[in-house]
Amino acid sequence: MSRKYDSFAGIFERASREYPEKTAIIMDGQSRTYGELFSRAKRIAGYLDKSGIKKGDPVAVISSNSLDYIETVVGIAMAGAVVVLLNWRFTAAELRQLLIFNQVKLAFYRPETLSVPSGSCCPMADMDTMEERLQEVQPLRHALPRSGDEVLMHLHTSGTTGFPKVVRYTNAQLLEELEDCVSSLQFCQGTVFQMMSQLFHSASMGTYSCLAAGGTVVIFRRFDAGKYLSSIEKHKVTRLSAIPTVLTALLNDPHFGQYDLSSIQMINYSTCPMPSELIQRAITKFHCGFQQTYGMTEMGSIVTLLSPEDHLLENKKRLNSVGKPIKSHEIKIIDEKGAACLPGQTGEICVKGPGMMLDYYQMPEETRKVLKDGWYHTNDIGWMDPEGYLYVSGRKHDMIISGGENIFPAEIENILRMHPDITECSVLGIPDDYWGEAVHACVVLKEGREADGQQIREYCRGKIAGYKIPKQVHIYRELPHTATGKVIKKELAGRIQRETKGQQNM
């Protein structure tokens, strides 16, 4: 397959020649042009060369979003090293373990966002004090060549069930996925893309897609609804990324109507299916196109797209779909025996595409479980309609079997998210002598709200089948999360079972 992009660093080298004065990145009132970004990336590559980093050596980045994050990634790639992106929210002990597991030779880190891993598992370069050191090194003039099958990057799964898996991408896999994302999501030089994800996520593919097209990216260290809305007006942002909680926060901001948001042309949302009521509300308020995408770290980024046109066709009946496969990607649904499901039949979602990972690093057995005959087995459950649109029901291991009925938590969670008093929720199955498993909902109420469990159960009535309505609703001040923000259902289940046991012993 011929590619538009010959190397990751080459994308930025070309941009620095063709439009060096164009703004590439904006953050906290500061900016980098493409020329400045690549010039600094060359010095970072020179610093790595001076530090003895060889081609193929893993080099890590541990930092919250920052103006120098992307140039550091590009510099590592230029030096021929393997880019290892680590979640700065991990504890020092977790980071040390991952640095050792990835065999990292040097790590760029920002001390204000983490406790520095103790011990000398590898040299640590403080990003806050790099400026002086970069002035003392010779910039690397040209990127070291890297073949298509050489490893370019390590990303990490969220680790909801234990130690995070290390997902490896080759040079060709990442570049081909990047090209498909640029064309499918319609990035261009005029795009001003405001994103809210942290750059260690696979969701950062949207950022690199925008930069590969020559657009401008606006990033934040952390999400704040007011600052996010103000930035849209100030920078004439044309494109946003959002998840349900972010979109809800923007729409609920008391000053929403005071901002000029007319520059927005597209909002892309992903991570989980957006409640259709929320999308319809957003369509009314934002007056722009919407794209829904579905993907995962193991596929480099996205696999499907629900286009702006699909959001509006046939009385908006496909708002609960995540769309059709993007260019060069395929999907099939299989049953428990591995046979293909017919349209409308629920089974495991399997996907393939150019961005599919090489493997889980140093986990051959885990790799074999999910990569079979060229397909990635997602562990997600869903179905496809006769027109080829995909619908995601939930995670295979999250499915609840209550009274002989299969229940997927995501469907109930989407209803609960629309409750006016609920700010966060999670639904799970708890062992039950009568039902086998009983549906339990764990919710966090908005500040000052006082809804009780029975009121929340009544809210669900008529919106979902009666057997899906939670048997019990637990109201908590907060829910346990992984470092990437996913609710840890295993911990919630243990909490509920301890509470139940305690009540029985009273």
pLDDT tens digits, one per residue of 216-239: 999 999 889 999 999 999 999 999
* Distance separating alpha carbons of residues 273 and 411, to the nearest angstrom: 9
Do residues 333 and 345 make contact, with C-beta atoms less than 8 angstroms apart? yes
Q: What is the pLDDT at residue 114?
A: 56
Tokens 């209550």, residue? 402
pLDDT classification of 410: cutoffs 50, 70, 90: confident
Q: What is the pLDDT at residue 157?
A: 85
* Distance separating alpha carbons of residues 365 and 74, to the nearest angstrom: 32
First-to-final CA distance of the chain? 67
**Boundaries of every domain in the chain:** 1-173, 399-504
DSSP strand E in 110-255: where?
A: 124-126, 151-156, 166-170, 192-194, 216-218, 239-242
pLDDT tens digits, one per residue of 125-138: 999 999 889 989 99
Structural tokens at position 446: 């908005």
Mean model confidence pLDDT for the chain: 90
Assigned CATH for 1-173: 3.40.50.980
Q: Above pLDDT 90, what percent of the chain?
A: 68
Q: What is the pLDDT at residue 94?
A: 79
CA distances from 86 to 3, 46, 104, 354, 356 (A): 28, 22, 11, 23, 20
CA distances from 331 to 374, 380, 413 (A): 12, 12, 25
pLDDT tens digits, one per residue of 347-375: 999 999 999 999 999 999 999 999 999 99
Q: Where would I find the H helices in 90-235?
A: 92-101, 130-135, 171-185, 205-212, 225-235
pLDDT tens digits, one per residue of 457-505: 999 998 888 889 999 999 999 999 875 567 888 899 999 988 877 666 6
DSSP state of 158: -
* Distance separating alpha carbons of residues 308 and 291, to the nearest angstrom: 6
- CA nearest to 297, candidates 455, 471, 154: 154
Contacts of 231 (CB under 8 A, 6+ apart): 194, 218, 220, 237
* Distance separating alpha carbons of residues 376 and 348, to the nearest angstrom: 11
* CATH topology classification for 399-504: GMP Synthetase; Chain A, domain 3 (3.30.300)
* Topology agreement, domain 1-173 and domain 399-504: no
pLDDT tens digits, one per residue of 15-38: 999 999 999 999 999 999 999 999
Do residues 70 and 63 make contact, with C-beta atoms less than 8 angstroms apart? no
SS3 276: helix
Q: What is the pLDDT at residue 115?
A: 60
* Distance separating alpha carbons of residues 483 and 124, to the nearest angstrom: 22
Contacts of 314 (CB under 8 A, 6+ apart): none
* Distance separating alpha carbons of residues 225 and 73, to the nearest angstrom: 28
Q: What is the pLDDT at residue 494?
A: 92
